[in-house]
Structure 1
Amino acid sequence: MRYTIIGQTVPAVECELNAGESMFTQSGGMIWQTQGFTMTTNARGGVGRSLGRLFTGESLFMANYRADIAGARIAFGATVPGSIVPVNISNGGLICQKGAFLCAEQTVDLKAVFTKKILSGLFGGEGFILQQLFGNGMAFLEVDGDMVERYLNPGEILKVDTGNVVAFEPTVQYEIETVKGLGNIFFGGEGLFLTKLTGPGKIILQTQNFNDFASKILALAPKR
């Protein structure tokens, strides 16, 4: 499989497949394809995993596209302005926020995972259930705004505004820290909680939280 990231504002990833190669995406992820594909839809991983994906913001069923001829091309598009990030799952997998998954090769799998601490799940911005990508091959993630990649050394800590974490390696510890000081809580404008990430491991951040952006637009909409 070969891929090209197309566009900058609302990008897409176009993949060129050999005969017999296949990719899958959540429902509605495909935006164009050339001739030579066979599409099937299934509850990938069975009913249990499918229900778990539903809680992580993904679709219950996955669309699978198999190339019947060499050189067939198919594109998957982002849903909001931002970036598409290619990740090699063969290097150890990733824990992702809900809605981050776009598409992947068939040799990649995903399942829902629970955050270890209830407080992190309830207030972390990523929800009580995250999703883990594992297996081998390439996957593609959606990022709101621009992507920032960091590597944390053992014991190194980075505190991130809730909702701006896209993904992190399983070696990274994830928890929620309450903002200190009543003045900061009520007048700081940053919310009550920060995401605390502790190394070692790679993390992927996004410069925009589209849910916050949409909430601000909704607040300005005329009320009848």
Structure 2
Amino acid sequence: MQITINRNGENYGPYSLEQVREMLDSGQAQPTDMGNVEGKSEWVPLSELSKNLSEAEEKPPVIGSQDSDTYTPTGEHEHEFRIECKPDFSYLTVQVPANQTLKVEASAMATMSTNMVMKTKMKGGLSRFLGGESLFINEFSAQGGSAEIGIAPGSPGDMDHVHLSGADEIFLQSSAYVASGMQVNVDSKWQGFKGFFSGEGLFLLRCTGHGDLWFNTYGAMIEIPVDGNYVVDTSHVVAFTGGLQYSVESVGGLKSLFLSGEGLVCRFAGQGKVWIQTRHPMAFANWTYPFRPESNN
């Protein structure tokens, strides 16, 4: 921050805020002298300028707020990270300590430090393939020092983070996985052909172990506490905790399944959390279909 001082029509500087404070303390600058912060248009007395800038420095940053477009962790976490551009186009930046590795969904890396080394490994097998997801997860290792990686999921939407303690268990819709620490185990759990009637099968990844886990949505994300029974359309399920029992079923029988526009639902029972997405790609595709360009042939 650079400050220009004006006294009797003459400009001096620019100076740093610390230099201005020292000049005020020593009498080199007067409280009635005018000051201007670089990039600002207004001139204000140095006494007022110094006070305002000091108060701004003392205000704690707003972190961990889901209403902010930048999220930094306040709870337990293994890696330093921030999530920017929430909730529309979330972008994850993770600091990876020296000689440690981060697992990232294939094709999600946007930027990385020059000392980051990537390896590709096959994960998930047939279930992820049938779910329309990548069979591969990339591993990024920081060699010779800490490194930074920027991660941009393919789906536009929100992103969230949980820290697994070792006893926790999180199920993710397969398309929701973004990244995780190396001690987080990501296993596939395919729900079979239950969803093929409506195109809304529930393909799940079971995440266990210890460490950070990031996942994203299409649209905004809502975390819902469940105590008892709760029903969510399968296309809106993003994640849920392992303490919940679940089953996939149709709404209103086969007639409703084919004619009502509603597909399959996931019925949860017990105590835990469910994360849902406010939109889903197939509904958006159906909404845009009438507006498609038509051939003149």
Instruction: Please classify the TM superposition score into its range, dividing by the shorter chain length.
Output: 0.7 to 0.9
The alpha-carbon deviation at position 123 of structure 1 amounts to 5.5
- 1:3 maps to 81
**Is the counterpart of residue 78 in structure 1 residue 153 in structure 2?**
yes
Q: Identity of paired residues, percent?
A: 26
Deviations along 1:33-82, whole A, 9 cap, x unmatched?
Answer: 122111111224xxxx4333323333122211001143311011122321
CA contact (8 A) 2:173 2:202 kept: no
Highest RCO, 1 vs 2 (Cα 8 Å, sep ≥ 6): 1
Matches within 5 A, 1:137-156: 137-153=211-227, 156=228
Matches within 5 A, 1:1-224: 1-8=79-86, 9-44=88-123, 49-90=124-165, 91-115=167-191, 119=194, 121-122=195-196, 127=201, 129-153=203-227, 156-180=228-252, 190-224=261-295
Range 11-20 or range 50-59, more displaced: 50-59
TM-score of the pair, normalised by structure 1: 0.83
CA contact (8 A) 1:18 1:69 kept: no
TM-score of the pair, normalised by structure 2: 0.65
Distance in 1 of aligned mates of 2:114 and 2:265:
47
User: What's the RMSD between the two structures over aligned residues?
Assistant: 2.6
Amino acid of the structure 1 residue aligned with 2:159: I
The alpha-carbon deviation at position 192 of structure 1 amounts to 4.2
Q: Relative to structure 1, is the Cα distance of residues 105 and 40 closer, same or farther in structure 2, using a 3 angstrom cutoff?
A: same
Distance in 2 of aligned mates of 1:53 and 1:177:
21
Deviations along 1:177-217, whole A, 9 cap, x unmatched?
Answer: 43338997788x55143332222211111111122212322
Query: Could you say what secondary structure the match of 2:235 adopts?
Result: coil
CA contact (8 A) 1:78 1:84 kept: no
CA contact (8 A) 1:83 1:142 kept: yes
Deviations along 1:104-157, whole A, 9 cap, x unmatched?
Answer: 111112111133x864x446865253211111111110112111112212xx11
- 2:47 maps to none
Q: Relative to structure 1, is the Cα distance of residues 219 and 61 closer, same or farther in structure 2, using a 3 angstrom cutoff?
A: same
- Structure 2's unaligned 5+ residue stretches are 1-78
The alpha-carbon deviation at position 174 of structure 1 amounts to 1.8
Distance in 1 of aligned mates of 2:198 and 2:147:
41
CA contact (8 A) 1:41 1:64 kept: yes
CA contact (8 A) 1:23 1:66 kept: yes
Q: Relative to structure 1, is the Cα distance of residues 84 and 27 closer, same or farther in structure 2, using a 3 angstrom cutoff?
A: same
Distance in 2 of aligned mates of 1:124 and 1:202:
26
- Structure 1's unaligned 5+ residue stretches are none
The alpha-carbon deviation at position 223 of structure 1 amounts to 3.0
Distance in 2 of aligned mates of 1:132 and 1:57:
17
Distance in 1 of aligned mates of 2:206 and 2:193:
18
